[in-house]
Each structure stands twice: as structure tokens, then as C-alpha cells.
Structure 1
Amino acid sequence: MSDTASVPGSSATRRQILARTGALGVSVAFAGNLTELFAGTAAAQDPGRGGYGPLVPDPRGLLDLPRGFRHRVLSREGDPLRSGEGPVPSNHDGMAAFAARDGGVHLVRNHENRVTAAVPVPTVPGLTYDPQGKGGCTALTLDRHGRVLAERVAVAGTAVNCAGGPTPWGTWLTCEETEDRAGTNGYTKDHGFVFEVDPADPRRSGAVPLTAMGRFQHEAIAVDPHRGVVYETEDAFQRPFGLFYRFLPDRPRGGLGSLRAGGRLQAMRVPGVPDLSTIQETGARFERVEWVDVPDPQAARTPIRLQDFGPKGITHAQKLEGCYWGGACVYFVSSFARSAEGSAADHYGQIWRYDPAARRLTLVVVFGPGTDVRLPGESPDNICLAPSGGLMVCEDGNGAQHVFGVTRGGEVYAMARNAQNLGSPEEPEWGEFAGVTFSPDGGTMYVNCYTPGTTFAVTGPWHR
């Protein structure tokens, strides 16, 4: 999530232009059939041409939003947790919202902390996996008016908790984006696992690694609500890059703790395609996608992506990040690919759709400044479906940092801009956004600023 080196070509120039112009009046800068992304969404409205209008500078210097929208800071790095367990940890990352009693909301928030984290997740008895791990999750409870009632540690002692995803039974799966073993960086246990978090009562879930789901550099998950299959992305930093996985649980009907019962981990093989970056045309389809059992899910001696998958090999992709379920399909994001870093080809971002019933993989969207370097549409990261029927995309790059909306008609518009300048007036620098999500009633957008760690609630005329 936090590796934000510039994309090939004109990325730096595009970012500088966005910083100066405020990304006002932007329009589509990618190709593909966007309507496919919204299959199965209940809402059918769209913000319309131009989104919600230009961003208005925030006089408080925190978050720029369109006119009529307002933000509230729910939590900020270094402030005391309301539980008294310690300070709010740093590096706010993936997040999801769950319904609470009386119209309230539970928020579960990742902290992508490494051993050098400025503010680690406090260790709490019964919620700590490895006392030397600095990452984890915190949970906030809001009342129906959006006021914070509680804030506490949800899991601690984990490492580099980047993204994850919600389950159909109302829990959060937080993912460790690391392969560090015990004895590395001071860790006392192996890392690279998925952990389940109960947003209402974290002590019910504890700090138990779901080892059968594999040990690798996890990024995000999505659960097939019909079959119980869990799809997982791997954001590996070195070639060969990550794989796209599915986990077939022994208890597919789900429920808190069900994934501890074990299951089978498989990796996706697209026949004849060793690297997804070589596919550049939207609409490209691959039938009869294969799933191959992972030889050693625990990666006891060899990282999974380096293991022997037979003479046909396996399919890799650089920067596999966001993952979500929509309609009858799972969608996953390749944030970018760079041949200079080992990919077979370059691209500025892809969204793929896998249809499990048909065993078909389709390239749905290709991001990039192919028409105009001033336009957004590069390095998509966290993605969520919006109540309007479109998407909200956290872009992960350099320079000005935005949350972009994508309408059902395919237009891109700036929804939010981080106004917290970490640099100087001459050389400004802004932290990326992460964890965009909506309240169950669709009336509030929650989003994190990674640095300085800040959680915002955004309300306004979403129906407009």
C-alpha cells in the first residue's frame, strides 16, 4: 500500500498538474465497459456529468471536498484510544463498516505498521499474536448520529496489516502483507497470515492466524456469498510477482471462526498467460481458467509464488491489490505493471473479473493517461462500490492524493483531496488515501489518510 514510486512515462508530470489544478473537471481516462463493474448493486442512481462539482479548499487544511459535503475527524494518530489501551496507532489502511445496534456503525481499521512504526498497535492480553509485531487493527463504534462511542484494539501483534475484506457473516479479515519468519526483524512468530476480527466484540475472535489460507504477502480478500469461497490477492514486491488465489473452506457456510476449520488453497492458472500484464485489450476473455493446488501453503521453505506448479507453471501479476465481490463474480485489481521492475509489459492499472460459474476471466478496465496526461486514472488501489451505483477509488501514487469517483457511465471525478501537506510550500507532499467504505445506510463515506493517520467521516448530498 505504501510503496508509491512513480509510474513509467509521465506520471510525475501528471501528478504535478493535478496538484496545481486541483483535479477540477476531470473526465474519463481509461477504457472498458464500466457497467460490468456494478452488476448486482441495488442502487441505480449516478452523480451525473462532472460528479459533485469542483473540490473546495478546506480552510482547516485537512480534506478538500465538493461544495455541500462536510467532513468530521473520527480518530487521529497519536491521540488516546478511548479504551485507555494506549495511543491511536499510525499508518491507517484498509477498513470496513458494519451495522451496529440502534442504527450505529462499527468500523474496523487496519494499521500497516512495520517494526519501525511511529505508533505501534498497543499489545493487549488475549488480542496479541506476537508481542514483537507492531501492526494490527483498531475498532470504532459510532452511534446513529456518527458520534464516536468507543475505540479500542481489535487485534495486535501482527505485521504490515494492509487490506483485507468483510465476510458475509459480518466479520473483517485483516491481511498481513509480509513473509517475515520468526527470528526476522525481532519477530517471535511467523507472519504472512490472515486474521479474523469481530467488529462488535474483538475478544470473541482473538488473535488466531488462519494458517490454511496460506502464508504470503496478502493484500485483500473477497468472499463468494453463495459458495463460501474466499479469493485472495498477493502484492509481492519482487519478481516473480504475486498470484491470485482461492481458498476452498471445509466449512463453506461460514460464521465466526469457521475458517479455522481449514480448507484447500489454490492458485489461478490462465493457460498460455504466465503474466497478466501482457494482456492490454479490454474485453479480452480467457475460458477454462484452471485452479492448481498450492504445494506448500505454509511456505515452510519456499515462498508460494516460487513453488513448483508443474510444467505448465502458474500465472503471475504485479501489484495485485483491491478485491471485491459484485453480482456473481469476483473483481481484482492490478495496480500497475512496470517492465523495468520485472513485469512482462507496462500498464497503469487493470481491473479483472472472474466468473466462477463459467470459469472465465475477463479484463474489464484498463487505467492510464493514454489520452491526456492531465487526467486521473493511474495506480488504482482500494476500491469500493458506492451507494450511487458507481465506484470510489483510492489512487496510490505520488504528488496530490485523491479519492476518485467513477460513475456508472464511465466518467471519473474528484471526490476528495488530502490537504494535509507533509512537506513544504515549495515541495509539498501528501499522504495517500486508503480504506474507503460506506456506512450500511449509504449516508456516510469513511476514508483513511495513511499519513498522518486520520479517519474521516464524509457526509453530504450523495443523492444529488
Structure 2
Amino acid sequence: MSTTRRTLLTRTGAAGAGIVFAGALTDLFAGTAVADPIGHRGYGPLIPDPKGLLDLPEGFCYRVLSREGDPLRSGEGTVPSNHDGMTALPGRGGRVHLVRNHENRPTAEHPVPTVEGLTYDPEGKGGCTALTLDARGDVLTERVAIAGTAVNCAGGPTPWGTWLTCEETEDKAGTSGYTKDHGYIFEVDPADPHRTGAVPLTAMGRFPHEAIAIDPRNGVVYETEDAFDKPFGLFYRFLPAKPLGGLGSLRAGGRLQAMRVPGVDDLSTIQETGASFDRVEWVDVPDPVASTTSTRLQDYGPKGITRSQKLEGCYWGGRSVYFVSSFARTSQGSAATHFGQIWRYDPDRRRLTLVVVFGPDTDIQLPGESPDNICLAPSGGLMVCEDGNGAQHVYGVTRQGEVYAMARGRQNIGTPETPEWGEFAGVTFSPDRRTMYLNCYTPGTTFAVTGPWR
């Protein structure tokens, strides 16, 4: 049997010993937390969980904060299905607000309950729920934060303490039973959801959104488009008319633009880490609400536009924005094949750089495959939710480029003969960096992981 990353991780107790890959990681983590001076490769072997939920290294433990189908503490209904993107925002008195997306389609077993004043489209089954934790990490409240949206995948936090939740669809009214157009971004205030309500931020575009990141210096919002099939998605920026104006300011509108890399039609053709492109251009999107034509299909002039398959995670670090292409496959129309990329865009230099390349399961020198949600770890590296086949892990990637398994899902959603495991999503850390919060997509489960974080 050939060696794969998963078999090696199993044999080594998932410590990730010796697994390293090449990439511009010094550049990737510039301006973030201090590197681990000892050079640890992880936290040790994963210990099988006797409860069959989540394997973690020795010294770490988890608590289940919420599971789909259980009653919401607010009494509004049941905890919705399909736990996806999430953030942890600071509250008063050491409290933490967790805002959690639910990527529900019309067939969801547990839709987000409709609540007066918080529902956009009564036929939409997606939305967000918000958990408030006390200083000890105990759940104080759990309630609906927005309802009536669709396929809420990821999003991102704002500098003023709210969450932007993104609909990963572009279905219009009359499709799938919807009564309103979908494909928008919505702002959610976890401390008081009625302050934000359910108002689409139309100027930020209507397309299959995945995630956003905000430049804290000037309020520019970067947005990824998750397009699985051709025509593939674009990378956007939104120039707000009222930058950094606080809660509700994004409703004032602005300009939506798409990225053009001169000479590059498809980012999948770039395969070498460190490859860099200067003079990146930004082109106005003619019709951001896509009234007749999808934004990625609109006319961007004779020079065209730059595309990429499966643009997903997006975050701000240092002085740059980073975004993920989960994979690209020539069999699905991409210009080239890869198993995951992380790109860095430096707006001051207008420079785009490929900083990390992921690898297939058969290549143990590269971390994971099909990266999805990503966040910065306390030690300055990355935590990556792998959305591939087989066993599902959260991988850590150190600043030195070493990969290790941080968590493994144990909830079998298949059969004993043909096991399957739900993907991980929404990895994020508490404001004090002492707790990692994590979702299992199916069955929807939210974990809080504590331990000897470095």
C-alpha cells in the first residue's frame, strides 16, 4: 500500500513529525503573532476520544457547546443544521460572542427558525445563530441572529465587532421556492441582532459569496466567490462610501470591483510558491446586483478578467489580505490542476503572490488537500479545516512550514462498513487566544477546545 498523508499521520500518532513543505511562510505570517522559538511541530499524537466525537492531543480537552436538533436556549426552535463559518467576538465582562453560519438549503432537516424582525425571506432556511459565553466559557444564551437567508457559508468579522454573513448562492426569487433574490452579504450584531435586522448589503454584490476580509486601515472589503463550475469565480474588493463607519455604515453603498492580473486569465496556471505579480488592476463591476447577468459573466473589457475555481477562505494579516483557492481541476474546466493555494495581495504595492501550495493525499510533503476555512493560530501559524475525502482533520501549519494534525473528527455519518466523516468548518480562536472554537458541519456540532496552546 502506498504511503499517504493520512497513513503517515496514523503511524506517527498524527504528530506530523518530519512533514514539511516549501512556501513563502515568512511572508505569509509577517505581522502576526510571534513564532514558536522552540520550533515544535505540533502538540503530539492525537488520542482516540472514548466518546467518539473529537480526537485531540494529550493535554487538550473539548466541550460540546451546541448540537443540531437540540432546543435553542432562547426557545425559538431547534439548533439548525449544517454548521459552517464562525467567528468569536469580544463582549463585556470577559464574555465571548460566537456567531455561527448555517449553510442550509431548502431541504435542510433543521432550518433556522424565523423570528420577527430578523427574517429576510420566509422561504430561506439558512441564517446565523449567536451564542454568548461567560468568562468561564459556559453558554449563557443561544438564539437566532438572522433568518430567511440561504446557504450561509462563511463571511468575516468587522473592525467594529459585527459579523458579515455570506450567501453562497445566486438564486433569484421564484427559484427553489424563494420569494426574494439571494446571493447577498448581511451584517449581524451578535450582541443585539435586532440592531442589524435582515437587510441585504446590495452594493457589495450578488453572487455565490464565500468569505470576506476587511483592511482595518481604510475599510476596504475583500470578497471571494465560490464557483465550482465554469465560469469560475472572481476576487472582489468593495470600496465603501462610508469606510470604517461602524455598525450599519456598509448600507451607505460603495463601488464593487473585480481583480485583474495582467497576463493571467486563470490563477490555477500558477504553480510555484513565491510567484509574484505587480500592477494588479481593479475593474468596476458593471451591475453588482446581477439583475440579468452573473457578475463573473459581465463585460470587463477587451483585457478580460482573472478567474479561479473554488475561491473560499479569506482573512487579513499584517498589511495584506490572504485568500484561498480550495482546488482546481482540469476535468471540470480549469486551466490547470492543483490541490489548494493561498494567495497574498499587498494593496500598498498592488502585488499578488502565491504563498502556499497544498498537495494531494499521496504527497506527504504538502499539507492537506482542499483547504477551506482558515484562521491564524496563537503561535503565529495557521489552522486549516480540510474539506477533502476520508478522515477529516484540522491541520496546523507552523511558521517553519511543518504540518501536523490538531484534531480529527470521529462522528461517523456513513456506515460501519463504509464510514464517512463530516467536514470541519468555522475554526476560530477566542479573543484571549486560549480557546479554539470549531464546527463539525454534519452532524452540526460546535466544540470549544482548551489546552496548552503555545
CA contact 1:30–1:368 (8 Å) conserved in 2: no
Flag structure 1 segments of 5+ consecutive residues without an equivalent. Answer: 1-9
- Is 2:254 aligned against 1:275? no
Alignment map for 1:141-220 (pairs within 5 Å)? 141-220=132-211
How high is the sequence identity, in percent, across the aligned residues?
79
Aligned to 1:50: 41
* Alignment correspondent of 1:135: 126
1:391 pairs with 2:382: yes
State how far apart, in whole Å, the 2-side matches of 1:50 and 1:30 are.
13
Deviation at 1:31, TM superposition (A): 2.6
CA 1:131/1:376 → structure 2, altered by over 3 Å: closer, same or farther?
Answer: same
Question: What SS does the aligned partner of 2:22 have?
Answer: strand
Note the C-alpha offset of 1:422. 1.2
Separation in 2 of the partners of 1:260 and 1:245? 18
Partner of 2:289: 298
Which residue does the alignment assign to 2:114?
123
Check if 1:17 corresponds to 2:7: yes
Give the Cα separation in 2 of the matches to 1:41 and 1:387.
9
**Residue 38, structure 1, aligned to residue 35, structure 2:** no
Match of 1:402 in 2: 393
- Contact kept, 8 Å, 2:3 with 2:362, in 1: the verdict is no
1:18 CA drift (Å): 6.7
Match of 1:346 among 320, 337, 348: 337
> What's the TM-score once normalised by structure 1's chain length?
0.94
- 1:274-332 Cα offsets, whole Å, 9 max, x none, are 00000011111111000000011011111011111111000000010000001110000
Q: Counterparts of 1:423 and 1:235 in 2: how far apart (Å)? A: 27
**Within 5 A, what are the aligned runs for 1:448-463?**
448-463=439-454
Structure-2 residue corresponding to 1:362? 353
Output the CA distance in 2 between the equivalents of 1:13 and 1:244: 36
CA distance in 1, matches of 2:10, 2:23: 29
Look up the SS of the partner of 1:31 in the other structure: coil
Q: Is the 8 A contact 2:13 2:44 kept in 1?
A: no
Distance 1:117 1:18 in 2: 36
The match for 2:53 is: 62
Q: Is the 8 A contact 2:358 2:366 kept in 1?
A: no
Distance change in 2, residues 1:462/1:19 (3 Å): closer
Size of the aligned set, in residue pairs, is 453
Report what 1:4 is aligned to.
none
Deviating more after overlay: 82-91 vs 40-49: 40-49
Q: What is the rounded CA distance, in whole Å, between the counterparts of 1:449 and 1:339 in structure 2?
A: 30
CA distance in structure 1 between the aligned counterparts of 2:183 and 2:12, rounded to whole angstroms: 38
Out of 430, 436, 446, the residue aligned to residue 439 of structure 1 is 430
Contact 1:14 1:375 in 2 (8 A): no
Q: Is the 8 A contact 1:390 1:405 kept in 2?
A: yes
What is the CA deviation profile of residues 319-363 of structure 1, one whole-angstrom value per residue up to 9, with x for unaligned ones?
100000011100000011000001000011111100101111011
When residues 119 and 21 of structure 1 are mapped into structure 2, their CA distance, relative to the original with a 3 A threshold, is farther
Cα deviation, 1:126-149, whole Å, max 9, x if unaligned, reads 000000000000000000000000
| Residues 1:303 and 1:24: Cα distance change in structure 2 (over 3 Å) | same
Q: Which moved more, 1:237-246 or 1:20-29?
A: 20-29
Is the 8 Å Cα contact of residues 46 and 407 (structure 1) preserved in structure 2?
no
Q: Could you tell me how far apart the structure 2 residues matched to 1:98 and 1:381 are?
A: 21
Task: Determine the C-alpha separation between the residues in 2 that align with 1:328 and 1:429.
Answer: 40
Deviation digits for residues 9-36 of structure 1 (CA, Å, limit 9, x no counterpart): x9x9847737965862324454312122
Separation in 1, partners of 2:78, 2:220 = 37
Q: Is the 8 A contact 2:19 2:364 kept in 1?
A: no
Cα deviation digits, residues 64-120 of structure 1 (max 9, x gap): 000000000000000000000000000000000011121110000000000010100
Instruction: Give the deviation of 1:42 after TM superposition.
Output: 3.6
- Specify the code of the residue in structure 1 equivalent to 2:331: A
Matched, 1:231 2:249: no
User: CA 1:433/1:273 → structure 2, altered by over 3 Å: closer, same or farther?
Assistant: same
User: After the TM superposition, which of the residue ranges 12-21 and 191-200 deviates more from structure 2?
Assistant: 12-21
Match of 1:318 in 2: 309
Task: Choose from 382, 391, 401 the match for 2:373.
Answer: 382
**AA in 1 matched with 2:255:** R
SS in 2 for 1:35: helix
Q: What is aligned with 1:416?
A: 407
Is 1:79 paired with 2:75?
A: no
- Preserved contact between residue 17 and residue 374 of structure 1 (Cα < 8 Å): no
Which residue identity is paired with 1:263? Answer: G
Rounded Cα–Cα distance in structure 1 between residues aligned with 2:439 and 2:322 = 22
Cα 1:46–1:412 change in 2 (3 A) is farther
State the alpha-carbon separation in 2 of the partners of residues 16 and 362 from structure 1.
29
Contact 1:235 1:318 in 2 (8 A): yes
| Structure 1 counterpart of 2:266, one-letter code | D
Which whole-Å CA distance do the structure 1 matches of 2:415 and 2:317 have between them?
42
Q: Is the Cα–Cα contact under 8 Å of residues 49 and 411 in structure 1 kept in the other structure?
A: no
Match of 2:277 in 1: 286
Q: What CA distance in whole angstroms lies between the structure 1 residues aligned with 2:395 and 2:13?
A: 10
Change beyond 3 A, Cα 1:154–1:46: farther
Q: Is the 8 A contact 2:361 2:369 kept in 1?
A: no
For 1:252 and 1:367, the matched residues in 2 are separated by 35
Unaligned runs of 5+ in 2: none
